[in-house]
Amino acid sequence: MHEDRLRYAPLADKVTSAEQAAQLIRDGMTVGMSGFTRAGEAKAVPMALAERARTEPLKITLITGASLGNDLDKTLAEAHALSRRIPFQSDPALRKSINAGEVMFVDQHLSETVEMLRTRQLGPVDVAVIEAVAITEQGGIVPTTSVGNSASFAILAEKVIVEINLSQPVTLEGLHDIYIPTHRPHREPIPVVAPQSRVGLPFIPVDPAKIAAIVFTEKLDSSSTVLPPDAETAAISGHLTEFFLNEVRKGRLTNRLQPLQAGIGTIANAVLHGFIETPFHNLTMYSEVLQDSTFDLFDAGKLDFASGSSITLSAAKYREVLPKLPHYKPRLILRPQEISNHPEVVRRLGIIGINTALEFDIYGNVNSTHVGGTHMMNGIGGSGDFARNGYMSVFVTKSIAKGGAISSVVPMVSHVDHNEHDVDVLVTEIGLADLRGLAPRERARAILANCVHPSYREPLADYHRRALARGGHTPHVIEEALSWHVALRETGRMPASADVTA
């Protein structure tokens, strides 16, 4: 049966249905599942698990690479199959369960999860469920469109369930570079010295005896939900382009820039897409998710090489890219996320990180995760890995949200994910604030002058003037610092200028 995909003959008798494989997962277990930002997740066994949870007591701790596609987080949450979820998610139904306190969500830097599993600060992993293109002649697992934490899940788990997805092209084989760091405190340096460095294996090495079940599937990855660039994202990209051009003029960068990282989503994808119409060339990426813009840059002749942990594309781009994968493959690598996000490598390569903020304040603190300071949106993801350790940390966002009812620039952020020490550049469609080398009072002047929507500029400037009168290294009117969020909760909007409409 499908000998081209299941090449290790002794495992042939492990082929079973998703329902039978899901029986290996029991109430209270910790389960590691493949999947990183809607790419490469196991698709059949989680659905069978949700069906069981609707009829019997069954709750698990679910650890993945990042968010899952095919509505798996939604289905598992609505079946009440989750007691704990780690380290990232983006599904509205699961988000509702998290904010209601039904599911305990552990929001982690994406580079840290398997480090904690490896040292038994988390876990142990009882069962790993991994999507694969194939199982090699030696029993190695070849991942599909993501690596994420799959390799470490398979290595650390007591039992492994493999879903071989026949809809995933066999041309994915050879794309992956599976490198697992040695144990601390005598760990050797990770030998990645350029985005194109290949330092590991093209498959996940596991003891075939641990593979307890194999399920054949044919379901495609979910497509990404990124929207096309609009006027605001084009303006953000334009401000950032001019900033980089100025860095080149000053001799701090060349037209090759530094290796680029971009967070998932419409704004970050649009910013990278904007590099097509610039003089930058021979670019490289060392990122997490390779989005539509990665392949747009390849096709435009701007990008030489891209390293990531997953490929997540829009439906149209999937149809375009997958048949041409052999054309792109020599310029691509997919790695475990602890390597794509590893602080050692990010610092060594000098990454320019471009990530998205929900809001930031006048001193440059960034909130990436919480609405109103209390309600989880998606999670910090890998943004902190790059913000803290890269050559330059850029955060982008539109200056207003909800039709102008919300200012993305506030007196004090309602939740801090990236403090002022890790934020170098802030960009909205209004303009760009270069915060490097600035003290807090100087940061506030730069942000007020460059990033704030006209509807909110005077109220924010008024707050800052009154804060300065109070004094301090980082001046605040502390009893009013979160008053904008209180006003939003009570009236449905933040305090915009009366004489300016959004």
Structure letter (DSSP) for residue 244: H
CA 58, 64, 67: angle at the middle one, nearest 5? 105
Structure letter (DSSP) for residue 178: B
Structure letter (DSSP) for residue 80: T
Distance CA 417, CA 364 (A): 11
Phi, psi torsion values for 187, nearest 5 degrees: -65, 135
Phi, psi torsion values for 283, nearest 5 degrees: -75, 155
Whether the Cβ atoms of residue 182 and residue 96 lie closer than 8 Å to each other? no
Q: At a CB cut-off of 8 Å and minimum separation 6, what does 324 contact?
A: none
Please state whether beta strands 289-290 and 310-311 pair in parallel, antiparallel, or not at all (unpaired): parallel
288 is a catalytic site residue: yes
CB burial of 316-325 (b: ≥16 within 10 Å; e: otherwise) equals: ebbeebbeee
Residue 476 in tokens: 């605040």
Q: What is the 3-state secondary structure (H, E, C) of 12-62?
A: HHHECCHHHHHCCCCCCCEEEECCCCCCCCCCHHHHHHHHHHCCCCCCEEE
Choose among 73, 85, 70: nearest CA to 32: 85
Residue 460 in tokens: 């924010």
* Marked catalytic residue, from 131, 288, 338, 429: 288
Which helix (H) or strand (E) covers residue 63, if one does?
A: strand 60-63
Angle between helices 292-299 and 266-273 (to 10 degrees): 10
Q: At a CB cut-off of 8 Å and minimum separation 6, what does 390 contact?
A: 261, 346, 347, 350, 351, 352, 353
Is residue 304 exposed (0-12), middle (13-18) or buried (19+ Cβ within 10 Å)? Answer: middle
Residue 12 in tokens: 């042939």
Choose among 160, 173, 224: nearest CA to 14: 160
Report the helix count and the strand count for the chain, using DSSP H and E.
17, 26
Catalytic positions are: 288
